[in-house]
Chain A
């Protein structure tokens, strides 16, 4: 027990590297919102303490991390044991990484544990990557959730493969419905409507996937296939008479997780100073509310000195059976995403424009990071969702905000 306690102390407490494999950061964020929303205040705070421990074990690699958080708004759960992020709300303590990689041969590895996956080629939006679970407690953060998985990967000549088995579903984590961060427009419901979200356990089995990659000259090619439970939920709204005790309706919200199968191709090519990337994915589901999808993306990236301009177009050729905002990972499609990242002597800044091409809603995002030292960083920025409240971004008008953050890394 004592070693475990010591490990927890070492992981949670910020310290100079006690061993070569320790790293982490402490961060304080403050949010100032443009309006009060559903009784939520103008300001909010978010504190994070993150520690990571990496250790070589011969030729193997062991990595674990522990994150402790404090959030002012009611978006986190009490202290619960949720090792797979399957609960409705964000736990104050979590283990983002806990994995062991064992080499099987020269260029073949077996990885077991909890880790993040990164798929696809296109930036801004990738149909291969968008499927993976995200925590949208902060809807503008694009935070991917790690998975409990087994991954076999390797390379022979110019061919690579990744076979992934995810035995446990880690679902998308949504903000409290009806809050300023909820992806559902409150205007679509009677004023004062409240939600009763059921903390349904997602199905246990996850999904399996295979990805093959090849490199030939300027071309990087890939194909993938996956099958299993889709991490993004289908929300089922109902009126439970037992809950209707006051003057405003109480809507019960359950979550379903249909099965989905998908195949996709990825292409990336260098063309002079440009990198052109594209993806196409065909997704199949017998669920009547999810249906099929045929998603394509095309992105162009160009470097300009210390800056990079990225333009991505993404769309779904098949209209979904339900409002696409309820499908989360394809809610914004068709979309145009433009991002400019620039490094300066003092730090960096970026501008991002996400534009929904169907409903005309979008998001303007700006961020400036100032490196006080190599380990202290101050970031200020803003998120400005705009446009039709029927769109997934326009619906977030109540979440327009300014952000300031102070981070200390070690």
Chain B
């Protein structure tokens, strides 16, 4: 559970990478160009925040978790450290992800205070979801538009904000993706993803919806402080709330090390 949750939280880091800037005018909007521009703009050297995760199932039962997250680098080259703070039973659990040159899969370790040792963990199946949240591993991956055939479907207003609507279909035949189509909603003014509809393979109706909201400008960088994934079939939803967000603060070299991961009471 914790290993899965820790990996999920990397998706939060990925979401934070969604670019935002004052946007130039796209005279003849092209989906690829929009996504490329969106992807390339918002890059920070480091990022840290505190987060809360709330899961509400269809019966209305609420589960909460809290953690601190630190990142250095960008996308596939990023180092990540996550430390859980709440609930008490998972307090102190740590997750470290380090990039490995030439590999799609980063090296990942989990530290469990109950075992007093770190454990290397293996990459999970893309379609493995973990119960209690509405995310799966594919949802966690940073969206790489180059792996999709993308096209501009039109425009739509979301929460009073004009958005570009872009469909993304996996390029490869027999793709590993569990989705046949993603529908992305990019805010026109800042080219920031505010909604994503996910349609599973072999299904007509969308399975899940991700809403990014409470967009703030923090230290010159836009960020969605609230992300909500709804499983439209299960009727449950998972909300991630970010607090104390900061960018480009120098991270100590020792932070992203196994030595630090095993420091109880540490970052």
Interface flag for A94 (CB, 8 Å): no
- Contact residues in B for A23 (Cβ distance below 8 Å): 88, 91
Q: Are B121 and A275 in contact (CB under 8 A)?
A: yes
- Chain A positions within 8 Å of B259 at CB level: 107-109, 153-155, 160
| B1 and A409 contacting across the interface, CB-CB below 8 Å | no
B147 on the interface (CB 8 Å rule)?
no
Binary per-residue interface labels of chain A (106-135) against chain B in the complex, 1 for a CB within 8 Å, 0 otherwise: 111100000011111001000000000000
A305 and B123 in contact (CB under 8 A), knowing A117-B116, A375-B87?
A: no
In the complex, chain B residues 229-267 whose Cβ is within 8 Å of any chain A Cβ: 252-254, 257-260, 262-266
B4 lies within 8 A of chain A by Cβ: yes
A-B contact count (CB 8 A): 109
Q: Does A348 contact B (CB under 8 A)?
A: yes
Known contacts: A24-B88, A101-B263. The answer to whether A306 contacts B1 by CB under 8 A is yes
* Interchain nearest-CB distance for A87 vs B (Å): 24
Is B159 in contact with chain A by the CB < 8 A criterion?
no
Q: How far is the CB of B59 from chain A (nearest CB, A)?
A: 10
Q: Does B149 contact A (CB under 8 A)?
A: no
Contact A345/B132 with A61-B263, A273-B124, A303-B124 known, Cβ cut-off 8 Å: yes
Complex formed: what's the CA distance from A116 to B63 in Å? 30
From A63, A144, A220, A303, give the contact of B120 (CB < 8 A): A220
Task: Report the nearest B residue to A128, measured CB to CB.
Answer: B117
The one of A108, A268, A306, A371 that contacts B130, using a Cβ cutoff of 8 Å? A306
Q: Do A270 and B87 have beta carbons less than 8 Å apart?
A: no
| A215 contact set on B, CB distance < 8 A | 107, 258
Q: CB-nearest residue of chain B relative to A24?
A: B88
Interface of B is mostly: loop
Flag whether A237 is at the interface (Cβ < 8 A).
Answer: no
Contact of B254 among A107, A218, A275, A305 (CB under 8 A): A107
Q: From residue A118, how far is it (CB to closest CB) to chain B in Å?
A: 3
B1-20 near A? 1/0 per residue, CB < 8 Å: 10110000000000000000
- Residue A25 interfacial (CB < 8 Å): yes
Docked-complex contact A409 and B88, CB < 8 angstroms: yes
Cross-interface CB contact of A303 among B86, B122, B131, B266, cutoff 8 Å: B122
Alpha-carbon distance between A87 and B120 when the two chains are bound, in angstroms: 37
Q: Nearest-CB distance from A341 to chain B (Å)?
A: 9
**Judging by beta carbons under 8 Å apart, are B258 and A63 in contact?**
no
Indicate the size class of the contact surface on chain B: 35 or more
In the assembly, what is the distance between CA of A323 and CA of B128, in Å? Answer: 46
A345 B57 Cβ-Cβ under 8 A? yes
* A371-B128 contact, Cβ under 8 Å, with A61-B264, A343-B1: no
A275–B63 Cα distance when bound, in Å, is 30
Q: Does B89 lie at the interface of the complex (its beta carbon under 8 Å from any beta carbon of A)? A: yes
Shortest Cβ distance from residue B233 to the other chain A in the assembled complex, whole angstroms = 14
Residues of A within 8 A of B45 (CB): none
Q: How large is the interface on A (under 10, 10 to 19, 20 to 34, 35 or more residues)?
A: 35 or more
A37 to B260, CA, bound (A): 48
CB contacts (< 8 Å) of B100 on chain A: these are 217
Is A305 touching B87 in the complex (CB atoms < 8 A)? no
**Is there an interface contact between A272 and B122, defined as CB atoms closer than 8 Å?**
yes
Cβ of A301 < 8 Å from any Cβ of B? Answer: yes
For B254, what are the chain A residues with a Cβ–Cβ distance below 8 Å?
Answer: 106-107, 155
Q: Which residues of B contact A213 (CB under 8 A)?
A: 258
Task: Evaluate contact between B87 and A374: CB separation under 8 angstroms.
Answer: yes
Cβ distance B95 to chain A, nearest Cβ, rounded Å: 14
- Alpha-carbon distance A306/B88, docked complex (angstroms): 21
Q: How far is the CA of A33 from the CA of B4 in the complex (A)?
A: 36
Task: Choose among A54, A118, A272, A371 the residue with the greatest number of B CB atoms under 10 Å from its CB.
Answer: A118
By beta carbon, the residue of chain B nearest A274 is: B122
Q: Is the Cβ of A273 less than 8 Å from the Cβ of B1?
A: no
Please give, as numbers and ranges, the residues of chain B lying within 8 Å of A343 by CB-CB distance: 1, 4, 130-132
Query: Is B36 interfacial (CB-CB < 8 Å)?
Result: no
> Does B104 make an interface contact (CB < 8 A)?
no
Most buried by A among B1, B86, B125, B266: B1
Tell me if B28 counts as interface (CB < 8 A to partner A): no
Query: In whole angstroms, what is the CA distance A144 to B1 when docked?
Result: 23
The answer for the CA separation of A25 and B266 in the assembled complex, in Å, is 21
Q: Nearest-CB distance from A379 to chain B (Å)? A: 12
A61-B266 in contact given A155-B258, A345-B57 (Cβ < 8 Å) = yes
Interface residues of A in 197-229 (CB under 8 A from B): 213, 215, 217-218, 220
Does residue B115 face the partner (Cβ distance < 8 Å to A)? yes
Asked if B78 is an interface residue, CB under 8 A from chain A, the answer is no
> Any chain A CB within 8 A of the CB of B129?
yes
In the complex, the chain B residue whose C-beta lies closest to that of A60 is B265
Taking a contact as CB atoms under 8 Å apart, the answer to whether B130 and A275 are in contact is: no
B64 at the interface (CB under 8 A from A): yes
Contacts of B57 in A (CB 8 A): 345
Task: Give Cα A217–Cα B99 distance, bound, in whole angstroms.
Answer: 10
Query: By the criterion CB–CB under 8 Å, are B131 and A409 in contact?
Result: no
What 1/0 flags go to A54-65 for Cβ under 8 Å of B? Answer: 101000010100
* B105, closest chain A residue (CB): A270
The 8 Å CB contact of A25, one of B88, B121, B129, B260, is: B88
Q: Are B120 and A270 in contact (CB under 8 A)?
A: yes
A157 to chain B, nearest CB (A): 10
Asked whether A270 lies within 8 Å of B263 as measured between CB atoms, the reply is no
- Per-position 1/0 for A243-277, Cβ under 8 A of B: 00000000000000000000000001011111100
A-B contact pairs, 19 of them (CB 8 A): A23-B88, A54-B264, A56-B265, A61-B265, A63-B264, A101-B265, A109-B259, A119-B117, A268-B120, A272-B122, A273-B125, A275-B122, A303-B3, A304-B125, A306-B130, A343-B1, A344-B131, A345-B132, A374-B86
**B interface residue numbers (CB < 8 A to A):** 1, 3-4, 57, 63-64, 86-89, 91, 100, 107, 115-117, 119-125, 128-132, 252-254, 257-260, 262-266
- 5 pairs of A and B residues whose beta carbons are closest in the complex: A118-B116, A118-B117, A343-B1, A155-B259, A409-B88
